[in-house]
Structures are given as C-alpha cells and as structure tokens.
Amino acid sequence: MKLLISSVLLLSLTCIAAAASSGPDSRTVTNPKSLNSQSNPAAKPVPVDDLYKTLSVGGGAWSPNGQEIVFNSNASGRNNLWTMHADGSDAMQLVKSDDRQNGAAWSPDGKWIVYAQDKGGNEIWDLYAVPAQGGESQDLTNTDNIAESSPLWSPDGSKIAISYKPKQSPVYDVAVFDWKTHQVRNLTNEKEQDERWTLAGWSQDGKSLVANRLKASFTNGDVYLIDVDNGKLENLTEHSGDQMNMATHISPDGKTVLFGSNRKAGYDNVGLLDVASKKIRWVTDTQWEASPDHFSPDGKSFTYTINQDGRTQAFLGNTATGKSEALKMPEGLTGFAGNPSPFSPDGRQLLLDHQSSRRPNDIWDYSIASQQGKQLTHSAGASISADLLPQSQLVHYKSFDGAMISAFAWMPFNLKRDGSNAAVVLPHGGPTGQTVDYFNREAATLASRGYICIAPNVRGSTGYGKKFQEGNIKDLGGGDLQDEVYAAKFLEASGYASPKKIGITGGSYGGYMTLMAIGKTPEVWAAAVEEYGIINWLTMLQHEDAFLVQYEKGLLGDPQTDRKIYEDDSPLKYIRDEKAPLLVLQGENDPRVPKEEAEQVVEILKKEGRTVDVHYYPNEGHGFAKREDQIDAMNRTVEWFDKYLKPAK
C-alpha cells in the first residue's frame, strides 16, 4: 500500500513569548456544569480496528546529507524502522521484525543505521546495524543478559556511546562501543545501587561525553563531563540537597551545556551552563515544565519545549541573547524529533513530532526561515474523521484536601444531562508520569461509544513542580487515589454521569490504581479493567527489574523498616472488599510488572467467588506492542464495560 504522502500546511498563528509567566497556581476550578455534550447527528462508534490501524509514527532522524529520514512506524502491525525522502515521499520499510526497534541513529558517513531491539518485550536490548539503503541487519552485541541501548555516534564515526545495563543489575552505566572491534568499554562503573546514568551528547572533538547521574527516584541529579579516554568525571552542577539537573546537549565549541533544572523553587526550567565557570544563564522562568533539547550545528541557536498543563509548545532560542520564540504550530503536543538532533545538517530545518486529541502523531519538517511547518507523514486513516471524535477538554477540580487537580475529559456526543450515563476514569502510569493531550485511542474508543472519560493528573504526577510530584511518596494509593475518586465526583456533578455506572481502567501504575480503587473505595466503582498492575509491592520486589526495585524503594522506603507502608499501600490488603467485576490483561514477558502480580489477583478473587476474568498475551512485555494484541485488549475492555456499565434493559 502507498504510505505517508507529504503535504504542506501553511500556518498563520501568532508567535508566543518564550517563557510562560503563569504556572500551576494560576489554575481555576472548572464548573462541572460547563461540560456539555454536543449534538452530532453523524456520531457513531469509531471501529476499534480503524483506531488501532491508524499508524503510530515517531523517532525521526536526519541522514547526514539531509536527504533522508529514518523513523519508527507500525504500518506493518509491528513497530519497525522505515525510511523516507526528506520531503516525505517514497516511504520504505527498512527492518522487518516481529520485535520492536528504537533509538535509530545514522553513522556519520551515512552508510549504516544503528538501533536497539529487544525480544518479545523483555527490554534486554541488543544493538543492531542495518545498511542505510536496505539489507540484512546485524546483531552487534548479541548479549542475552545485558541491555545495550540509546546509541549515539561519535562525530568521527569510530565509536558509539550507549546505555549499558546487566539484567540483574539496578544500574544503567555509560559505555562506548568500538565500531571496528565491536568491543564495549564502560566509562562509568556506578557503585551506588540507586543511581543511574543517561547520555546527553558528544563534544565535537569526540574527546568528551556529557552525561547525567540520576537517583532512581528521579528526585536528584547532576550533569557530568566524562573524558572518553580515561573515564575521568567532572561534576558540572554540584549542589546540596535534592535537586534535579539534567543535560541534553553540549554546544559545538564545547563551552556551553544545554540543561534543565528544578533549582528554581522546585520548577523545571531551561538554562545555559558555562562549562568553565559552571555559571548558569537562565532561558526560562516558568512554573510550568520546561525541557531542554539541542543546539544547532553552528551553536548559534537551541531548542526546548514548555509543557503547560499537558499541552506542549516548541521554542527556538538564540544562544547569544537567550531570547526565544515559539514555533508556529497548531495547538496540542509539539516536540522535537531527531537522533541526535532535530536540526537538519545545514541547520535550516527542524524535525518535529506533533499530535493532538483528534490527530495522531506525525513527523513534521519546520522551516526556520519561513516559519512554516510541512507535515511529512499522515498517520490518520481515511476512516478516522476528527469530526467523529469527541474533543478533549482541560478541566480543573479540587480534591479532598483542597489540592488542585488537572484532568482531560472527553464528552460523548448526544448525551442527555439526566444523570444516567456511564463514565470511566483513566489513571495514568508512573506514578512519575502525566496524561498529556495526545491522541488517546482508549478515550476515543470509549467516548465514541457513549462513555464519559476523565484522565486526572493526580498528586505524584510530573509537570506541576517538585512538591506536587513528591506528594504521594510513602502514601501510594492514599491521597492520589482520592484524587481519582474526586474525578468521578466531578463527572457526577456535571449532571451527566450516573454514580452507579462509574468504571476505572489503567495500565502499570494505572493498573495498580485500578486495583487499589476497587478494593479501598469499592462503593465508587461498578466495573474495572486493569492492565499489568501491581497487587503487592513486596512480591514486586522479588520479580521486577532490578532498577525498578530501587525506584520502588524511592517511593515507599526500605522494605524492612517501612514494611507497614508496603503492606498498607498494596491493593492486596483491600482487594477482598472489591465489588466491581474485574478484567485483568497482562503481557507474559513483562519485566516491569511481572505476570505473578496478575496471577495473584485472579487467584484471590476466584477463591472469593468474585466476577473476574484474565487474558495473558504471549511475547508481549510492559504494554502491548503488536497491533492485533492492542485491538484484542481494547475489544475486551469495551465488551467488559458494555456488559457491566451498560446492561441490557
């Protein structure tokens, strides 16, 4: 089939100042009665197959000559690598595999593309190389018990910097892979079990790497300069107390590091860090989440994004003046693509990702001179009309203790405000994550079938400052669960939702929250679908990935001295009080939330004589990557909610 025909969109949007002056404190409560179900005579359930055959694309990267782009697409039903011309034409599948690829990076001579690939979702990544013009892929590392990922070529093409993690170790280190000998040499040898390293970029001379040393709990971090020859480390952001500092690139002259930090009252801002003096020139001064990206090839400009309450804008900054302008893109989520850089080799174009609640993600080419964006890929299938998808609405409500919570809500068409309608709460994963205004296939499926949906960013979420992000530490399933309950109350107060027809579904931490909700607050929920969720934090420690053990300890404390917290914060303590019929969906190879968690849930509830069902997906990990499994999981979810939230009269 013909794929991804390019088109040009001319956008006439007003340029916005770089640093948003507002922040989370400027939010005001949304009147629930302001939610309205629009009339739409053409409205109908959007076919699940069509929604999931709508392509998922991303991960674009320029070729060294700027004439081609490599990217990820699931056009074949698998998340594989494709290439296309820089104008979006002649898309071609480069790698055909049942397994997924990511992190594609061109060699500086343009002959090879190196990427990471795992097996059946196990996240034990190997490095592979494929000829850029097509051919047989080579497994470069071929290690069953070591994950090698995130490849970054040195400027001369002799080495590749990688992330390196033995399967049984909690530590991610920085290593270099020699292109000629295929030998791997660690540059960091982290001894602390709760620290990890991430890559930022090479210096232009290839003698140094910029990298980040971060706590597993993501509460503390520093930026380091690493000597590639001897592994000598220099801390560029020494500080006291907990503070997150994280670099993303170093300027071509090696003098400035582009980095982000929450040292400004706990809010993430972007700065330019002088390597010699270690002094900072701040680019943003915002209480929204500002994230650094990359320098231009000549170092005269740089890129970053600002996430304002779940919607992101992309900015281009001037290195000399620090002043910035927003790119003229439509509302939604705009971010930078490219490995290692969103800038074309000549510095004239930017490679972007863009999506919104009604439009799936696509790759765009943005001209810096003309300030115009050109859409290169077209992911939305012909059968998916934006007019049939309910628009997301950003709402705010106060929780039990007065905390302000942001959420995205989807109102189906043609509902009566008579308190009779079914609704579903969608908790996100993490917990250090955030629901943003993306193309949400789950919400689109449910809302087009008459389910009011709401996805809250509860305490513990990112995007609202350090204090809010740490608001659920040692209280998982406490205040954050009440934030989910108050989302249901918000929908009830709209006059549309019936308090007897509220469901809940989520994956990972959202799956945990689903289990905690039906056990700890059983009176609220009439049905539930949980995907790869945690039932017992103590058994998680025995089976999950070693890095996540450290992450878990950062949230709950020491499992010996804080054992009561682990027990009180586990759904296991409450699950026998549940009343809602429960469907469990689980990948058999999940390294993050292993299937033992799902098995416990099902065994307990079956013994209690409760309504429970389960389906395991072979060769799937944390989340379902294969299209047929995504479709199957969504169909099972719809059937479950239809049966228990919309029983036949």
Q: How far is CA 610 from CA 290, 499, 614, 645, in A?
A: 46, 21, 13, 17
- Least confident piece of the model among 9-18, 229-238, 351-360, 524-533: 9-18
Cα separation, 267 vs 258, in Å, equals 17
Closest of 425, 383, 390, 395 to residue 410, by C-alpha: 390
Classify 583 as helix, strand or coil: strand
Within 8 A by CB and 6+ apart from 589, the residues are 120, 121, 122, 618, 619, 620, 621
Q: What are the residue ranges spanned by the domains of the chain?
A: 389-645
Task: Record the pTM.
Answer: 0.93
Helical H segments across 229-362, by residue range: none
268-312 confidence digits (pLDDT tens): 999 999 999 999 999 999 999 999 999 999 999 999 999 999 999
**pLDDT surpasses 70 at 649:** no
Check pLDDT > 90 for residue 15. Answer: no
Q: pLDDT category, 361, cuts 50, 70, 90?
A: very high
Torsions phi, psi for 259 (to 5 deg): -145, 165
Cα–Cα distance between 224 and 197 in angstroms, integer?
A: 10
CA gap 570, 559 in Å, rounded:
13
- Identify any residues that bridge with 612 across adjacent strands, giving them in sequence order: 582
Q: What is the mean pLDDT of residues 408-417?
A: 97
Q: What is the pLDDT of residue 386?
A: 84
> How many angstroms separate the first and last alpha carbons of the chain?
44
Burial (Cβ within 10 Å: 0-12, 13-18, ≥19) of residue 370: exposed
Q: Report residue 588 as tokens.
A: 């058999």
> Does pLDDT of 16 surpass 80?
no
Question: What pLDDT does 21 receive?
Answer: 52
pLDDT tens per residue, range 566-584 = 999 999 999 999 999 999 9
Burial label for 218, CB within 10 Å (0-12, 13-18, 19+), is middle
Q: Is 12 exposed, middle or buried (0-12, 13-18, 19+ CB in 10 A)?
A: exposed
Among 270, 290, 274, residue whose Cα is nearest residue 282: 270
pLDDT band at 92 (very low <50, low <70, confident <90, very high): very high
Mean pLDDT across 24-46: 96
Residue 11 has pLDDT above 80, yes or no: no
pLDDT digits (tens, 9 = 90+) for 95-144: 999 999 999 999 999 999 999 999 999 999 999 999 999 999 999 999 99
- Residues 513-523 have pLDDT tens digits of 999 999 999 99
Query: Residue 313 and residue 220: Cα distance in Å, rounded?
Result: 26
> CA-to-CA distance for 18 and 121, rounded, in angstroms?
39
Residues 53 and 51: their CA atoms lie apart, in Å, by: 6
Tell me how crowded residue 247 is: count the other CB atoms within 10 A of its CB: 27
CATH of domain 389-645: 3.40.50.1820
pLDDT of residue 13: 30
Mean predicted confidence (pLDDT) in 24-50: 95
Q: For tokens 């670099």, what's the residue?
A: 247
What pLDDT score was predicted for residue 609?
Answer: 96
- Cβ-contact 128, 138 below 8 angstroms: yes
Helix (H) or strand (E) holding 543: helix 537-543
- What is the per-residue pLDDT for 647? 74
Burial per residue of 25-60, b for 16 or more beta-carbon CB atoms within 10 angstroms, e otherwise: eebeebebeebebeeeeebeebebeebbbbbbbbbb
Looking at residue 383, its pLDDT comes to: 78
Residues 254 and 227: their CA atoms lie apart, in Å, by 13
**Percent of the chain whose pLDDT exceeds 90:** 94
State yes or no: pLDDT of 1 exceeds 70: no
How many angstroms separate the CA atoms of 304 and 494, rounded?
38
Q: Where are the beta strands (DSSP E) in 228-347?
A: 233-235, 245-250, 256-264, 267-274, 280-282, 289-295, 301-308, 311-318, 324-326, 333-336
Give me the mean pLDDT over the 597-620 stretch: 97
Q: What is the DSSP string of 9-63?
A: E-------BSS----GGG--PPPGGG--PPP-TT--PPPHHHHHHS--EEEEEE-
Distance CA 213, CA 243 (A): 12
CA distance 619 to 364: 33
C-alpha to C-alpha distance for 136 and 125, rounded to whole angstroms: 18
The pLDDT score that the predictor gives to residue 387 is 85
Is the confidence at residue 444, as pLDDT, over 60? yes
Q: Starting at the earlier edge strand, list the strands of the sheet with 138-139.
A: 101-106, 112-117, 126-131, 138-139
| pLDDT, tens only, 188-216 | 999 999 999 999 999 999 999 999 999 99
Question: For residue 456, how far is the Cα from the chain centroid?
Answer: 16
What is d(CA 516, CA 518) in angstroms, rounded to the nearest whole number?
6
| pLDDT tens per residue, range 66-75 | 999 999 999 9
Q: What are 477-500's pLDDT values in tens digits?
A: 999 999 999 999 999 999 999 999
Looking at residue 382, its pLDDT comes to 75
| Model confidence band, residue 17 (pLDDT cutoffs 50, 70, 90) | very low
The yes-or-no verdict on residue 544 having pLDDT over 80 is yes
Report how far residue 463's alpha carbon sits from residue 440's, in angstroms, rounded to the nearest whole number.
19
* Residue 3 confidence (pLDDT) above 80: no
Q: What is the pLDDT of residue 14?
A: 28
> What is the band of 4 on the pLDDT scale with cuts at 50, 70, 90?
very low
